[in-house]
Amino acid sequence: MKLVIIEPLGVEKEQLLKIAEEKLSKDVEIVYYDTRVTDTETLIERGKDADILVVANLPLNEEVIEGCEKLKLLSVAFTGVDHIPLDLCKEKGICVCNCAGYSTAAVSDLVFGMLISLYRRLAQCDTAVRNQGTKDGLVGFELEAKKFGVIGAGAIGTRVARIAKAFGCEVYIYSRTEKEIEGAQFVSMEELLSVCDIVSLHVPLNKETTHLIDKGKLALMKENAVLINTARGPVVDSEALAEALNEGKIAGACVDVFEKEPPVEASHPLFHAKNILVTPHVAFATKEAMVKRAHIAFENVRAWENGKPQNVM
């Protein structure tokens, strides 16, 4: 059985192959590619003989899936699978597994890193002090006593809610499925948007969540509110958000994700908006998270080999 790791997974080759060898049976041939390519022809060439493909967030289009004629399992070393043609995989009987949970701590950390950076104007403070400046004009805000809204109560949303509570925030949650989260109250999305000082998005990308936050939803938010998106870019209407920021309808935004993977064109509307902090889809990217997801990705393969597939999408 041939397993192809079709792109780098953020772990040193020696460590990655050691994890794979520890998890998999001896009859699995492992092929590892340490470069990331995006052209269809090369991807098909890499995967055409593979029974199993391991991929992170590299988009695999329908042509690639069709070209990998022997493919039986796609182990996605990522939480979201919107870069995979799931319908085609199901049609062809290809099992698709993801790595839910590997980046829960990493993404939650960045939510608060970005928020505190925006609240305390850290980039401006750094520039000021390097230029013999002072704190004049750089007085920030505290998290304590702020109303913190979380949209989506999965693993990451739940962790963010608990951290917000530890900061002394009043926590509100909107989710289609309610569960017990100490110190948080579930409310409608409209109520959450209208009362919260901070709104953090933690939903998957699908037909229902595309442009979940649009011009109408942004109009419900308070003028002092900050929107945080570490979920998926299309969950927010970027042009509507840029307009809301530039017109002072909301106070700020922290955005880690866009309609496409970085690099993002300099003309993107959010790059010309006021009071926004942007990062290049790094929320999931910590040394620890990369190792966690490698373990899960190969555990998924082992479970599938044993006839008990897990984390199936």
CB 290 within 8 A of CB 99: no
Instruction: Please state, in angstroms and rounded to a whole number, the distance separating the CA atoms of residues 103 and 253.
Output: 22
> Can you give the pTM of this predicted structure?
0.90
What's the Cα-to-Cα distance from 259 to each of 47, 93, 129, 149, 256, rounded to whole Å?
27, 29, 35, 23, 11
What's the Cα-to-Cα distance from 71 to each of 61, 67, 172, rounded to whole Å?
14, 9, 44
What's the Cα-to-Cα distance from 93 to each of 47, 65, 70, 72, 170, rounded to whole Å?
17, 11, 11, 7, 46
Q: For each of the domains in the chain, give its residue range(s) and CATH number, in order of start.
A: 2-102+286-305 (3.40.50.720), 104-278 (3.40.50.720)
Q: Give me the pLDDT at residue 195, please.
A: 98
Q: Tell me the per-residue pLDDT of 268-300, one tens digit each, with 9 for 90 and over.
A: 999 999 999 999 999 999 999 999 999 999 999
Q: Give me the pLDDT at residue 80, please.
A: 85
- Please report which confidence band the pLDDT of residue 143 belongs to, taking 50, 70 and 90 as the band edges: very high
Of 162, 261, 295, 302, catalytic = 261
| 261 assigned to active site | yes
Q: Give me the pLDDT at residue 237, please.
A: 98
| 36 assigned to active site | no
Of 121, 159, 232, 268, catalytic = 232
Q: Tell me the per-residue pLDDT of 9-29, one tens digit each, with 9 for 90 and over.
A: 999 999 999 999 999 999 999
List the one residue out of 60, 70, 69, 55 whose CA is nearest residue 40. Answer: 60
Of 281, 293, 299, 305, catalytic = 281
Q: Tell me the per-residue pLDDT of 151-166, one tens digit each, with 9 for 90 and over.
A: 999 999 999 999 999 9
Instruction: Please state, in angstroms and rounded to a whole number, the distance separating the CA atoms of residues 135 and 113.
Output: 20
List the one residue out of 180, 108, 176 whose CA is nearest residue 148. Answer: 108
Q: Tell me the per-residue pLDDT of 217-263, one tens digit each, with 9 for 90 and over.
A: 999 999 999 999 999 999 999 999 999 999 999 999 999 999 998 99
